[in-house]
Structure 1
Amino acid sequence: MAGIMDSIRNLFSGGSTSKPPQAANEPDTYRDCLIYAEPMEEGGQWRLAGRIVKGDGEAAKEHKFIRADIFSNRNEVEAATLRKARQIIDEQGAALFK
């Protein structure tokens, strides 16, 4: 019941029905970067989103990305997030963190 009320409230208040990203359990390592799949739940589906981190501590650099791709299954969106992050790293290289 609360879900319906939240949807109605969001409809009239202009609020979004998407929830904040949820981090995957373990990051994936690719070319000295850590990839975190952080899909966003939207209306029973999942939007592709994640982070790419290079370095440790205060020297760490981070690149967040969100794509329009929507999936019905969390496992599928996490796998697609890892593929997309690897593609971003391959295409942009060091320029990704500038």
Structure 2
Amino acid sequence: MGILSGLKGLFAGAPSAAEKTEDTIEYQGFHIQPAPMKDGGQYRVAAIITKGEGEEQKTHQFIRSDLMPNRDECIEITLRKTKLTIDQLGDKIFG
């Protein structure tokens, strides 16, 4: 994979409709939806973190450089890292 292809994958956004979406979990008032990104033969740690509802809803796209060999492991690591980030940053995660 070339450098430009890798960068495109990082900023491509949400997973394609063909990829299975995971159930959203609630953690300390935040909602975490794991969204592993297929990258070559591996999965990149990624999730969508939201808080609030309607016009008050805030969203953060959580993407890390970590690559995991299988989807289940990626989801497990994603949840661990998103929870840690929420613990450390709280609402500051939204900018």
Say which one has the larger Rg: 1
- Could you report, residue by residue, the CA deviation over 1:18-42 in whole angstroms, capped at 9, with x for unpaired residues? 4752463310110011001111101
Could you tell me which runs of 5 or more consecutive residues in structure 1 were left unpaired when the two chains were aligned. Answer: 1-6
Q: CA RMSD in A?
A: 2.2
Name the counterpart of 1:79. 76
The number of aligned residues is: 87
Output the CA distance in 2 between the equivalents of 1:48 and 1:64. Answer: 11
Report the identity percentage. 38
Give the one of 5, 9, 18 matched to 1:16.
Answer: 5
Per-residue CA shift, 1:52-73, capped at 9, x if unaligned? 1001122110111111110011
Task: Give the alignment partner of residue 38 of structure 1, picking from 35, 39, 44.
Answer: 35
| TM-score scaled by length of structure 1 | 0.76
Does 2:43 align with 1:54? no
Task: Give the ranges of 4+ consecutive aligned residues of structure 1 lying more than 4 Å apart after TM superposition.
Answer: 17-20
8 Å contact 2:36–2:75 — kept in the other structure? yes
**If the length of structure 2 is used for normalisation, what is the TM-score?**
0.78
Which amino acid in 2 is paired with 1:90? D
* 3-state SS, counterpart of residue 26 of structure 1: coil
Quote how far apart the aligned CAs of 1:93 are. 1.1
